[in-house]
Amino acid sequence: MKKTYYNSIDMDTFKQELKAEIIRVLNLDGMQPDDINDAEPLFGEGLGLDSIDALELIVLLEKNYGIKLEKPEDGKAVFQSVNVLADYITRNRKK
Amino acid sequence: MKGTTVCITGAGIVSAIGFGKEETLQALRQGRSGIAPIRYLETTHADEFPSGEVKADTPSLRRRLGMQDGNRTTLLGILAIQEALQQAGITDTRTVSLLSGTTVGGMEETEQHYAEALKHPGTTISIRTHHCGATTDAMAAFFGGFRHTATLSTACSSAANAILRAAEMIQSGRTDICIAGGSECLSKFHLNGFNSLMILDRRPCRPFDAGRAGLNLGEGAGFLVLESEVSARRRKAAVLGWLNGYGNACDAFHQTASSPEGEGAFLAMRQALEMAGLTPADIDYINAHGTGTPNNDASESRAVLRLFGGNYPPISSTKAFTGHTTSASGGIEAVICLLALQEQFLPQNLHFSEPMEGGLLPVQDQQPKRPVRHVLCNAFAFGGNDTSLLLSNQPV
Amino acid sequence: MKQPVYITAASAISIQEPLSESWMQHPVVPQGGAAYAREPDYTPFVKPLEARRMGKLLKRATATAQTVLRQTGIARPEAILTGTGHGCVQNTLTFLNDLCQGGEQMLKPTCFMQSTHNTIGSLTGIQTGSHGYNSTYAHGGTSFECALMNAWDLLQLGRVHNALVSAHDELTDDYYPMLQASGYADGRMTCPTTEASVSCMLQTAAEGPVLLQGVDVLYRPAPEQLLQALDALLEEAGLQRTQVDALLTGANGSGTDRAYDPLTHALPQCELLTYKHLFGESFSAGALGCYVAQACLRHDLLPACLRRGGEDRQPAPRHWLVANCFDGTDYSLILLSKCCDY
């Protein structure tokens, strides 16, 4: 079932869930969803994630939302920040 | 090279392009690739990822060797070792050391047993023939014994490090003769592992091409008999080539990615040259690691340009022939280098059409413009375990 | 001309107190079956973000290596040699299980990456920024000894002045039954099946109480070949058989214990010692043998716990032969001596 968020409260809840998932799959021990700023870059200078984390997030997208990225480079645009990622998932999710 | 001179008196090879040196040479000269849809490994990706399988199923490999059992890594290793020992005229291996490189080991068999055991709760699989060392010792047992056996496991540079280590053992006076190389069979485990890293090409791989999109996996084994020159002379063995230098360096950059400047690769090649007392201008051919992944080929190109400048020697990757035979690649490609030295040709880089930006122009014409005397054979790995071997048709 | 090689520091994580030599006075007495290592506090060694891809094996490898590097003041070892029989078992089994249960899709890249054996040694390379020689052995129960031999040769050839040599193997609840089914966790064993992480620093341009005199690894040696190898090691060290006063074997109560008979007969004057009753059996156990001997030489103490009912002996024996036999197939000999100036 495709979910769409019509208001910002739903979207905020979704972002919190998403951050919890990121912490879980990337094994970011000791971090809480609130430690991740929604607008902060996930890679490089922000949270400090790298290419392997990007691959893990690609698996997460496919497993949880049925979104399949064909090339690792495609992740660059999608994983800019939690805001960008949440928006991308909302528009492209298959489940 | 300072210290004991190390020469090569035997070589054996099996890969997607053939059993033995003769078939391998023919395929290389005719430009015939061994990459095809997967036929022998049971996988749902059979038609998705072209691979370089050895063209025989496991039972027929066993029959070839008159064996009842033995996993594919072991069997491929035995075939290559047998050819190498035969050429070197060695029948008694009891004073010889065997160094083999592998990472997959017995995984291809284990993954079948594990899946089977899942269907029968309460059953447990044995891992007796699974771990890397077990495959080496199973190869040793086939030949009746060696003085020393060891298994190098540095992922895709395992066989190259086994060959390098053989030279060290000879130079340190531990042994006169060492058979060294590596063996690796295709497994669902690493096929899916490389897929999870998103570095497998769905088309035949195109090393050094601007449009390259990843690697094709392969399988096989390649071994060299390395020997001190004194021992070879004493045995009146024919010398096929010399290992005049080698270098092992760590990129120390990332667990899977190579550094943009190719630091590990650069250092390994430079060390090999320094050990041989040669300059970049002396190198007549480079057999590149050249996997076909965007990252490796860019990093390796940068390392070659740093060391050799714009006037770099002919360079090619033979992985579009054999596939990336991972741990065995250093052994397989060292044998290919030896063939290039003996037959005076340049193995071509298949499927190249357009150079990458700031990249290299790999070998298209097999005919060398000058004699092939000294060649570098590169093998790089995850974790930045980078090794380069310098083989020659003359001592330095 | 042989270069003197010193073991200038060593540290271990095992079923005994981690990163400590308190086992010499207050050993933990293990039970049989599977016994897991005691974990140290990893916060001084591993940053939280780095820990995200580290299973217990990589954390242990980081802690033992860092301990040795800090003790010796060597920030970047010139060579890093690693031995591991099985590598990161936890990650390997997760990937294998996901593959067999869930099919060939959506598999975790981190688990695959960490399943390659060289991930341990290359992590040390990355952590220390060491571009030097870096290699890994996965040769069953003599992986450490192969790594030690490699380091020894590099030092003797003058290619490096120091080398960090380590061995790491872990146990999991899922792996233990497989070791049992394989005969590696033999029911006759009088010690538990365990896990071990050991790091040690070898140096030529240094001094210290512990001299590494030589190492050899043999494949299925006949008794006379084993003794030839022993004599060659002794000759290189300028020693006679009669001067060896401690023989520390990897005897574990199983059928392979007979492997040590030629050595015990050849060295009848030796104090016969074992270590696996305290540290257990694993593919990295041989590294603990070396670690135990160097600890005794460093502290000049042969503790009662190694003497099976004896008392502390001080000074410790001076020349130690450490012998290990893996599965009746691969044999290792390590010769260590107390440096006479200490």
Counted across chains A and C, CB pairs separated by less than 8 A come out at 30
The pLDDT, as a whole number, for residue C2 is 86
Residue from B7, B130, B132, B156 carrying the catalytic annotation: B156
Residues of A in contact with B257 (CB under 8 A): 51
HSE-up of B183 (CA within 13 Å, CB side)?
A: 35
- Cβ-defined contact of A55 to C109 (cutoff 8 Å): yes
Q: Does residue B257 lie in a domain region?
A: yes
- Cα separation, A51 vs A72, in Å, equals 8
Q: Residue B391's closest CA among B319, B342, B328? A: B342
Q: What is the pLDDT of residues C22-50, one digit of tens each?
A: 999 999 999 889 999 999 999 999 988 88
Residue A48 touches chain C, beta carbons under 8 Å? yes
CA distance A24 to chain C (A): 10
Inter-residue contact B317 to B6 (CB < 8 Å) = no
Inter-residue contact B364 to B348 (CB < 8 Å) = yes
Q: What is the pLDDT of residues C209-224, one digit of tens each?
A: 999 999 999 999 999 9
- Cβ-defined contact of A56 to C108 (cutoff 8 Å): yes
- Assign domain C5-24+34-203 to its CATH architecture: 3-Layer(aba) Sandwich (3.40)
Residues of B in contact with A72 (CB under 8 A): 198
Residues in a beta bridge with B250: B385
Average pLDDT, chain B: 97
Long-range contacts of C17-26 (CB under 8 A, 24+ apart): C18/C63, C19/C63, C19/C64, C19/C67, C21/C295, C21/C299, C23/C278, C23/C303, C23/C305, C24/C295, C24/C296, C24/C299, C24/C301, C24/C303, C24/C305, C25/C303
Q: Residue C196's closest CA among C30, C337, C8? A: C30
Q: What is the three-class DSSP state of B186?
A: coil
- Cα separation, B6 vs B9, in Å, equals 10
Nearest CB to B197 within list C95, C109, C283: C109
- Cβ-defined contact of B127 to C178 (cutoff 8 Å): yes
The pLDDT, as a whole number, for residue A1 is 46
The pLDDT, as a whole number, for residue B2 is 56
CA dihedral of A28, A33, A37, A39, whole degrees rounded to 10 = 100
List C-alpha distances in Å: C218 to B65, B95, B145, C177, C301: 26, 10, 10, 29, 30
Q: Given the structure tokens 């791989």, which residue do they identify? A: B205
Q: Which residues of chain A have pLDDT under 70?
A: 1-7
Render B80-144 in DSSP notation, one character per residue: HHHHHHHHHT----TT-EEEEE-SSTTHHHHHHHHHHHHHSTT-----TTTSHHHHHHHHHHHTT
Averaged pLDDT for residues C276-300: 98
Question: How many other CB atoms are found less than 10 A from the CB of residue B119?
Answer: 8
CATH code of domain C211-338: 3.40.47.10
- Cβ-defined contact of C107 to A26 (cutoff 8 Å): no
Averaged pLDDT for residues B40-51: 98
Q: What is the pLDDT of residues B5-16, one digit of tens each?
A: 999 999 999 999
Max Cα–Cα distance, chain B, nearest Å: 65
- Cα separation, C154 vs C167, in Å, equals 18
The pTM score is 0.97
Residue of C nearest to A59 (CA): C106
Q: In the numeric block, which tokens belong to residue B244?
A: 């005049």
Burial track C291-327 (b if 16+ CB lie within 10 A, e otherwise) = bbbbbbbbeebbbebbeeeeeebeebbbbbbbbbbbb
CA distance B231 to chain C (A): 20
- Cβ-defined contact of C330 to B149 (cutoff 8 Å): yes
Amino acid letter for position C173: D
Residues 6+ apart with CB under 8 A from A86: A11, A14, A15, A18, A38
| Structure letter (DSSP) for residue B314 | P
List C-alpha distances in Å: B297 to A64, B51, B206, B221, B348: 34, 19, 10, 23, 16
Q: Higher pLDDT residue, C331 or A31?
A: C331
Residues of C in contact with B272 (CB under 8 A): none
The pLDDT, as a whole number, for residue A45 is 78
Q: Is B289 an annotated catalytic residue?
A: yes
Q: In the numeric block, which tokens belong to residue A18?
A: 């998403």
Residue A67 touches chain B, beta carbons under 8 Å? no
CA distance A63 to chain B (A): 13
CA distance B199 to chain A (A): 9
Residues in a beta bridge with C118: none
Domain limits of chain C? 5-24+34-203, 211-338
Name the helix (H) or strand (E) containing B247.
strand B241-250
Q: Higher pLDDT residue, C67 or C206?
A: C67
Average pLDDT, chain C: 96
Q: How far apart are the first and last CA of chain C?
A: 23
Q: Does residue B346 lie in a domain region?
A: yes
Position C1 confidence tier, pLDDT thresholds 50, 70, 90: low
Averaged pLDDT for residues B337-364: 96
Inter-residue contact C95 to C157 (CB < 8 Å) = no
Inter-residue contact B51 to B192 (CB < 8 Å) = no
Amino acid letter for position C18: P
Q: How far apart are the first and last CA of chain B?
A: 6
Same fold? C5-24+34-203, C211-338: yes
Residue B272 touches chain C, beta carbons under 8 Å? no
Residue of C nearest to B254 (CA): C126
When scoring A25, A52, A78 by the number of chain B Cβ atoms within 10 A, the one with the most, hence best to mutate, is A52
Q: Residue C80's closest CA among C96, C93, C95, C68? A: C68
Question: How many other CB atoms are found less than 10 A from the CB of residue B217?
Answer: 28
Question: How many other CB atoms are found less than 10 A from the CB of residue C194?
Answer: 26
- The CATH number for B232's domain is 3.40.47.10
Residue of C nearest to B2 (CA): C157
Question: How many other CB atoms are found less than 10 A from the CB of residue C198?
Answer: 30
Q: Does residue B1 lie in a domain region?
A: no
> Quick one: residue B383, left, alpha or beta (phi over 0 = left, psi -120 to 50 = alpha)?
left
Q: In the numeric block, which tokens belong to residue B107?
A: 């995984």
Burial track B297-312 (b if 16+ CB lie within 10 A, e otherwise) = bbbbbbbbbebbeeeb
When scoring A49, A51, A68, A69 by the number of chain B Cβ atoms within 10 A, the one with the most, hence best to mutate, is A51
Residue A54 touches chain B, beta carbons under 8 Å? no
- Cα separation, B378 vs B382, in Å, equals 14
When scoring A25, A55, A62 by the number of chain B Cβ atoms within 10 A, the one with the most, hence best to mutate, is A55
Q: What is the three-class DSSP state of C95?
A: helix
Residue from B190, B324, B351, B374 carrying the catalytic annotation: B324
Q: In the numeric block, which tokens belong to residue B375?
A: 């060649």
Q: Which domain holds residue B19?
A: 6-392
Q: Does residue B274 lie in a domain region?
A: yes
When scoring B194, B197, B198, B259 by the number of chain A Cβ atoms within 10 A, the one with the most, hence best to mutate, is B198
Q: In the numeric block, which tokens belong to residue A50?
A: 């790298």
Q: Do the bridges between strand B177-184 and strand B220-228 make them parallel or antiparallel, or are there none, so unpaired?
A: antiparallel
- Total domain count for chain B? 1
Residue C82 touches chain B, beta carbons under 8 Å? no
- Cα separation, B240 vs B232, in Å, equals 11
Inter-residue contact B90 to B96 (CB < 8 Å) = yes
The pLDDT, as a whole number, for residue A46 is 78
Counted across chains B and C, CB pairs separated by less than 8 A come out at 213
- Cα separation, C79 vs C136, in Å, equals 11
Q: What is the pLDDT of residues B79-99, one digit of tens each?
A: 999 999 999 999 999 999 999
Q: What is the three-class DSSP state of C283?
A: coil
Read off φ and ψ for residue C2, nearest 5 degrees. Answer: -75, 135
Q: In the numeric block, which tokens belong to residue B191?
A: 């096929």
User: What are the residue ranges of helices labelled H in C254-284?
Assistant: 261-266, 276-279
